[in-house]
Amino acid sequence: MTTAHELTKNQTLVFNTLSRADGPLSAYTILDQLRGDGFRAPLQVYRALEKLLDYGMVHRLESINAFVACAHPHNHSHSHGMTAFAICEKCGQVSEFSDDVITQRVRQWTTDNGFKQTKTTIEIRGVCAACGTA
Amino acid sequence: MTTAHELTKNQTLVFNTLSRADGPLSAYTILDQLRGDGFRAPLQVYRALEKLLDYGMVHRLESINAFVACAHPHNHSHSHGMTAFAICEKCGQVSEFSDDVITQRVRQWTTDNGFKQTKTTIEIRGVCAACGTA
DNA sequence: TCTCGATATGTGATGTTATTACATTAGTCA
DNA sequence: TGACTAATGTAATAACATCACATATCGAGA
Ligand SMILES: [Zn+2]
Ligand SMILES: [Zn+2]
Ligand SMILES: [Zn+2]
Ligand SMILES: [Zn+2]
């Protein structure tokens, strides 16, 4: 079901920047990294991000105003469930996972309450195993 | 276990503003509503919000950069579980709830992965029952 | 091939959200 | 009193995001 999306030049540049990064980047950090490629304005980044988010290739981390490449590069659908993120406040590493039980419980609540969900954000802030023992 | 906190003047003003509102407010909206009470700068709002968040009297909605008074005004602890929010994109109404199963599953993941969580954000965006049938 | 419409891009200005830095005021307690 | 802490006031700045308008690119059909 994974549709291959033909990325435009700017989308490719932004996606590659995120893919190479070892953690989430802010839009302005991406902009700075792409100055050498001709990027001059935030909108160039935000427009590319908008598409990449649509395609499911990138996620937005609401709690830190940053963006990260999807951890499942060959399966951009996330068709079955909601995605959760654990964000380390020490090293910035993000772990992406999904949990069917959580997905079901959220769906249960929305069903029970007549709420039509369009997007769900689950972000766990804290300290990762590596940083916790360091 | 609910500790009564003595609020300062600014904290009281900000909390009352949020309590009277029928939905979440941005810090700058709060500021505007408090101009008549002598508020002149964002920091006055942010400093009060910081304390109110500490006390658990107010929640920050990460996905919309806004703040809302806790829906459980006489029990600011949230001691037992994580709080989730359903945010209507039509009318702005926020429903606050907590689900033990979700809390347990998140804890399970963090335990399994050695992740020390400090705060967890769960926000469901969509359309509430009232707006969905309107 | 030409024209049209849709999509993508370039650019400056502006809007929105949050913090830094420093000065001042008010309460607490030897 | 003096010394300390918490709270407040204010200006400036930083960080994040969008609007408005111009230009470019590309493909479907006349
Ligand atoms: Zn993903
Ligand atoms: Zn870490
Ligand atoms: Zn609450
Ligand atoms: Zn609604």
> What distance in Å separates the CA atoms of residue B101 and residue B80, rounded to the nearest whole number?
12
CB atoms within 10 A of CB A53: 14
Q: What is the pLDDT of residue A1?
A: 39
What digits encode the pLDDT tens for the residues A77-118?
676 789 999 999 999 999 999 999 999 999 999 999 999 999
The CATH number, out of the four listed (3.10.25.10, 1.10.10.10, 3.40.50.10090, 3.10.180.10), of the domain defined by the range B9-127: 1.10.10.10
Per-residue pLDDT at A73 exceeds 50? yes
Tell me the pTM. Answer: 0.94
pLDDT value, residue A16: 98
* C-beta separation of A59 from A83 below 8 A: yes
CA distance A64 to B63: 10
The residue among B60, B64, B43 whose CA lies nearest residue B52 is B60
- Cross-strand partners of A94: A87
- What is the pairing mode between strands A83-88 and A116-127? parallel
Mean pLDDT of A46-51: 98
In strand D, the nucleotides that come within 7 Å of a protein beta carbon are 7-12, 15-20
Find the chain B residues whose C-beta atoms sit closer than 8 A to any C-beta of A: 62-63, 84, 86, 88-89, 95, 97, 99, 101-102, 105-106, 109-110, 113-129, 132-133
Give the pLDDT of residue B58.
97
Give me the DSSP letters along B117-129: EEEEEEEEEEE-H
Q: Are B5 and B57 in contact (CB under 8 A)?
A: yes
Residue B131 has pLDDT above 60, yes or no: yes
Distances (CA, A) of B118 to A41, A87, B54, B82: 35, 10, 13, 11
Nearest-angstrom CA–CA distance, B111 and B132:
38
Mean pLDDT, rounded, for A19-32: 97
| Phi and psi angles of residue A86, each rounded to the nearest 5 degrees, phi first | -105, 120
Q: What is the mean pLDDT of residues B91-115?
A: 97
The pair phi, psi for residue A23, each rounded to 5°, is -175, 180
Cα distance between residue B87 and residue B127, in whole Å: 7
Q: What is the mean pLDDT of residues B12-26?
A: 98
- pLDDT at position B73, please? 73
* Per-residue pLDDT reduced to its tens digit, B31-62: 999 999 999 999 999 999 999 999 999 999 99
User: How far is the alpha carbon of B112 from chain A, nearest alpha carbon, in Å?
Assistant: 10
pLDDT of B2 above 60: no
Contact A128 B119 (CB under 8 A): no
